[in-house]
Amino acid sequence: MSESVPPAPTETVRVGLIQCGHVRADVANDHGDYPELFASLLSDSPIELVTYVAEDGQLPSSPQECEAWLVSGSASSVYEPLEWIGATGNFLRQVVEADRPMVAVCFGHQLLAQALGGKVEHSDRGWGVGIQTYDVVDQPPSWPTPDVPATLRLLASHQDQVTELPSGARLLARSQHCPVAAYSIGERVVAVQPHPEFTPALTSDLVTVRREIIGSELTDRTLSRLADPTETSALDRSVVSAWFSRVLTSP
């Protein structure tokens, strides 16, 4: 799978970060919250991040307020009957209708699917945590290299999953645990279930403090893999960072 790659932008692009939650404080103290994590992930990109804390009711006035949009994870579930979740879903739908570039991650990936008519559920497959391998099944738009890898290895942390894609969405990646791991809407919007902005150290700390809800067996297995340099060095964080940059800065 290959396609022509758009040229890199020469000017800084203003990207609105729709922050849908916070990394829990005892982990964020050492590793940063979503604004810091995404700024680090995209540090080589010509991007200026502008944060809107959607969980606190902060939303842009229109999709035109920024040139592109980035949507974060959250500890909430998209199907909770909370006013801010409904309002944020409405805004994401407006971004798609306005044909603005957007990248949605984890909770954002789920909320976008739900806002466009898809379905999200608490998965009976259990937690998807730590290092996960996803099969790439279709050409991702704006992929930054001439060839697309057959698999992507990324860090994840979720129980909810997209179980039905919205009409018009194109499945990009999947795994046995997560059948809808990434999808696109047209050529300017992509959504992924894993967390490319997470680091192995952050994920280790997050899994450790969630031991009781994740379960000791899965926690120990996940921590063992995260402590193995051969495992963490094979993560595809950098190529996904370049992909996100291409999507967000596409003209």
Of 106, 109, 158, 178, which is the active-site residue? 106
Contact by Cβ (8 Å): 157, 123: no
3-state secondary structure 97-128: HCCCCEEEECHHHHHHHHHCCCEEEECCCCCE
Cα separation, 16 vs 38, whole angstroms: 11
User: How far apart, in whole angstroms, are the C-alpha atoms of residue 156 and residue 209?
Assistant: 15
CA-to-CA distance for 209 and 24, rounded, in angstroms?
10
Residue whose entry in the numeric block shows the structure tokens 């959607």: 54
Q: What angle do CA 245, 70, 213 make, to 5 degrees?
A: 115
83 is an active site residue: no
For residue 124, what are the contacts with CB-CB under 8 A and spacing of at least 6?
none
Is 178 a known active-site residue? no
Q: Which two tokens stand for residue 80?
A: 């909770």
For the chain, the residue count is: 251
Question: Which positions ≥6 away from 158 have C-beta within 8 Å?
Answer: 106, 127, 128, 129, 193
Instruction: Evaluate whether 15 touches 48 at the Cβ level (below 8 Å).
Output: yes
Q: Is 177 a catalytic residue?
A: no
**Residue 177 to residue 159: CA distance in whole angstroms:** 10
Catalytic residues: 106, 195, 197
